[in-house]
Structure 1
Amino acid sequence: MKRLFVCLVFLFVFFGTIVSKPIEDKDIYASIVNWTDQKIVSNVKETIPKIVFDEDDPEFSGKNTATSQGKAHSMARKKAKEKLKVRLSQRLESILFNSDYTIYEYTQVNQQARLRLNSYIGAEKEEYDFQFIKNVLEAKASLAIKGKDGILAHIPMEYGTEPVPEFSEELVPVEFTGLVVDARHLPVKRALFPKIQTDRGLDVYSPLYVKEAYAIETGYIVYRADQNGKLYETKVGKNPYFVLALSVAGKNQTDLVIPTDEAAKFLSHPESRKNITRCRVLILVSQ
């Protein structure tokens, strides 16, 4: 009986990990911001041009026709790439940058950001996947949020200019490998740079506290629906501090408020504060 119980628990945990879905936001074209895997994805379907190789055929060399299968596939890929680039660019600019701006709005008030974003979009950092099915091309393109070719590496942001706040605890400070904020009960909106603050208005997580290299390489923030899987541990380690958010804040409702006493418990240890600078922070949200 005990063995059966252990097997059932294992299957439950394993199955829960497998079916766990990423946190995604979609626009009207079904272009997706995947906040868990840190990428933007868009899909299109393109009809493959008709193949007309007979010079006497009235449609020969006509619009939307090709003289060979290779040419037809090439034409379909070109059209699909053009549409995907537009959709990814539109989706990128509509992402919430922080509690005040979308990415587009941020680039309107920051000329350097506008120039670097334009350069990034023109640099063709997209990854493509093409599948030809009968007379249709199913095409997918993605842009990374993190990494050297990701969005974060090409949008200027002021990082690491202030020290992480320190608290003195009466109890012996405990080292935590990261911070997990549970906001699954709140209407929080996802953004590239949300802040976490105490109920007394003190920021405990902000771009001003983190190291640029960590933000770019691991992502400033990751949103998940659960605490399962290796990627969870990769982000916040084996012993993260878990706290329940009190409310959302900011114009765009992207920032989170946590109790001051909870922040004090987490930030009282120097290694815990160091892990803040390493972006070892994760937010749990509802799907």
Structure 2
Amino acid sequence: MKRIRLISLLLSLIILSVSLGSKPIEDKDIYASYVNWTDQLIVSNVKETIPKIVFDEDDPEFSGKNTATSQGKAHSMARKKAKEKLKVRLSQRLESILFNADYTIFEYTQVNQQARLRLNSYIGAEKEEYDFQFVKNVLEAKASLPIKGKDGILAHIPMEYGTERVPEFSEDVIPVEFSGLVVDARHLFVKRALFPKIQTDRGLDVYSPLYVKDAYAVETGYIVYRADQNGKAYETKVGKNPYFVLALSTAGKNQTDLIIPTDEAAKFLSHPESRKNITRCRVLILVSQ
């Protein structure tokens, strides 16, 4: 009986540790809008007070500011105000995201006119998804924008993909096929970005937008950040047999790029299928919460 209770306790601890470790990696701004780097979403929340309902024409507040003549009208007014605030906050959060080691998205659009036009078009296209919950006299509203997918940010920001070949190393190593690459940077202070690069300690790029196919970057996301190695989504991104490597340090002005040992890179890139998986964006970075 004691053994059964012990096994049950151990299973509970394992389940608890997995659930705790599965918390998405998020970056929040001052308005509590956030980027969910694990699920590839930008999310914002607001609360809007529902207008007072005044249906008596003799009431002094009838047709006054922040009043409505029916519950349906009051809810409609609250949703409209919430949507206006959410659109602004999502736009602000989007532009403040780090694009790469050198720019935020806003800074990138200042030096790339095509990117500015494409981003303006995307923001105006109303790709947001909304969720509205009425709780007593308050509307709790949430809006989200996808990072990946045909309606995501990556599909609407111009980027130069796949113009170079993934490097091959001359080191004498036995070729082993790996389904993806996992870089553990949980011991480092890493800033998250849409397009981080992974480099060797000799300065050679191992992972870069110049190596990947645009269809994979848009569909799966160029990079995913996680705090753990659990769950189906993890395997979907990097497969069942990824190569694990511990990052040595960060690099770049924005501390978004990662440095790994050259000999580790040589082992991973020794097999043509492993190099092909780089072009498929089968790369994941582990970071601390």
TM-score, structure 2 as length reference: 0.94
- Is contact 2:41–2:144 with CA below 8 Å preserved after alignment? yes
Q: Does residue 112 of structure 1 match 2:114? A: yes
Deviation of the 1:167 alpha carbon: 1.6
CA gap of 1:71–1:12, structure 2 versus 1, over 3 A, is: closer
Deviation of the 1:114 alpha carbon: 0.2
CA gap of 1:64–1:171, structure 2 versus 1, over 3 A, is: same
Distance of 2:170 and 2:156 partners within structure 1: 38
Deviation of the 1:170 alpha carbon: 2.4
Distance of 1:30 and 1:7 partners within structure 2: 32
Distance of 1:186 and 1:10 partners within structure 2: 27
CA gap of 1:165–1:29, structure 2 versus 1, over 3 A, is: same
- Report Cα offsets for 1:20-50 as digits up to 9, x if no partner: 2000000000001000000000000000000
Gaps of 5+ in 2: 4-8
CA gap of 1:283–1:69, structure 2 versus 1, over 3 A, is: same
- Out of 169-178 and 33-42, give the one that drifted further: 169-178
CA gap of 1:15–1:88, structure 2 versus 1, over 3 A, is: closer
C-alpha root-mean-square deviation of aligned residues, in Å?
A: 1.8
- Report Cα offsets for 1:120-166 as digits up to 9, x if no partner: 00000000000001100000000000000000000000000000001
Deviation of the 1:2 alpha carbon: 12
CA gap of 1:23–1:174, structure 2 versus 1, over 3 A, is: same
Distance of 1:25 and 1:15 partners within structure 2: 18
TM-score, structure 1 as length reference: 0.95
CA gap of 1:100–1:6, structure 2 versus 1, over 3 A, is: closer
Identical columns (%): 91
Deviation of the 1:9 alpha carbon: 5.7
Distance of 1:132 and 1:7 partners within structure 2: 36
Counterpart in 2 of 1:9?
14
Distance of 2:91 and 2:267 partners within structure 1: 42
CA gap of 1:215–1:49, structure 2 versus 1, over 3 A, is: same
Deviation of the 1:256 alpha carbon: 0.3
Distance of 1:206 and 1:12 partners within structure 2: 33
Counterpart in 2 of 1:214?
216
- Is contact 2:173–2:266 with CA below 8 Å preserved after alignment? no
CA gap of 1:139–1:235, structure 2 versus 1, over 3 A, is: same
Deviation of the 1:169 alpha carbon: 4.3
Residue 277 (structure 1) aligned to one of 271, 276, 279:
279
CA gap of 1:130–1:6, structure 2 versus 1, over 3 A, is: closer
Query: What is the aligned length?
Result: 284
* 3-state secondary structure, aligned to 1:142: strand
Deviation of the 1:15 alpha carbon: 7.1
* 3-state secondary structure, aligned to 1:179: strand
Deviation of the 1:12 alpha carbon: 5.6
Deviation of the 1:172 alpha carbon: 2.1
CA gap of 1:6–1:114, structure 2 versus 1, over 3 A, is: closer
Distance of 2:254 and 2:280 partners within structure 1: 25
Distance of 1:240 and 1:40 partners within structure 2: 27
Distance of 1:10 and 1:170 partners within structure 2: 42
Gaps of 5+ in 1: none
